[in-house]
Amino acid sequence: MRLDKFLCKSTALCKQEAIQSIHAKDVTVNGVVVTDASTQVHENNTVLLNGERLKARDFRYILMHKPAGTVCSNVDEVYPSLFRYLNVDKVSELHIVGRLDVDTTGLVLVTDDGRWSFDITRPSNGCQKVYRVQLSRPMSSESAQVVADTFLKGVLLQGEAKLTLPATMEQIAPHEVRLTITEGRFHQVKRMFAAVGNRVVSLHREQIGNLRLDVVTEQWRYLTLKEVESFRNHSN
Ligand code: URA
């Protein structure tokens, strides 16, 4: 990782302060003063700040229950950021693994480990995301079966050239289904139902991989090591 990032992860310095320290020649890597903030360093390098050895903080892996009306972003936009409920240091270093729309609720994963989030989001990994979907138009069990078959084969979303990957749909009630997808295209669930002549009125993510949402709205918790590793195994 970059030297300025390493400093941020191992001290209380923000990025600007880390860069200033590097330019002020306060930082050595393996005994050599380094003044270029973009220098790549690795965990086994000896990095000293004013003579003191630094150790990068471990990556963070967090599960959150997103309420409606919040945006999946580090900063407030038109709507408040989901991170207003996350009382941890340096939220600016964190990112969201697979964003949800403002009106969507449910399971969101948050981390500062880019490799881990890439493994979860890239479609070739087949990591399942399970959504509970309320629809505006009721479906009989026969029409639900037709929709389920269509989603299993893949559906063409408006403006796209490639069919969606196979998705499974289970009907819960005339207006309600559970949908499992392995991609994360823009507004994918809403657009899949639009493609079959229906409209999503509410959307809730219940599960990612084997991880189920187990905290109440606005709450969060750290993942266990086993849960973190379950996603890495998933990618193999
Ligand atoms: N699909 C959508 O349409 N919206 C979401 O928030 C997530 C998946």
Does the pTM surpass 0.75? The reply is: yes
- Of 4, 76, 101, 103, which residue is the catalytic one? 101
For atom 2 of ligand 1, the residue with the nearest CA is: 187
Give the separation between CA 202 and CA 105, rounded to whole angstroms. 8
> Is pLDDT of 235 > 80?
no
What is the reported pLDDT for 125? 87
Residue 18 three-state SS:
helix
Lowest mean pLDDT among 4-8, 98-102, 146-150, 231-235: 231-235
Sorted by where each starts, the structural domains of the chain and their CATH numbers stand as 3-53 (3.10.290.10), 61-123+211-229 (3.30.70.580), 128-208 (3.30.70.1560)
**Cα–ligand 1 centroid distance for 113 (angstroms):** 23
**Cα–ligand 1 centroid distance for 221 (angstroms):** 23
What is the reported pLDDT for 165? 96
**Beta strand pairing call for 27-29 and 32-33:** antiparallel
Residues 177-232 have pLDDT tens digits of 999 999 999 999 999 999 999 999 999 999 999 999 999 999 999 999 999 999 98
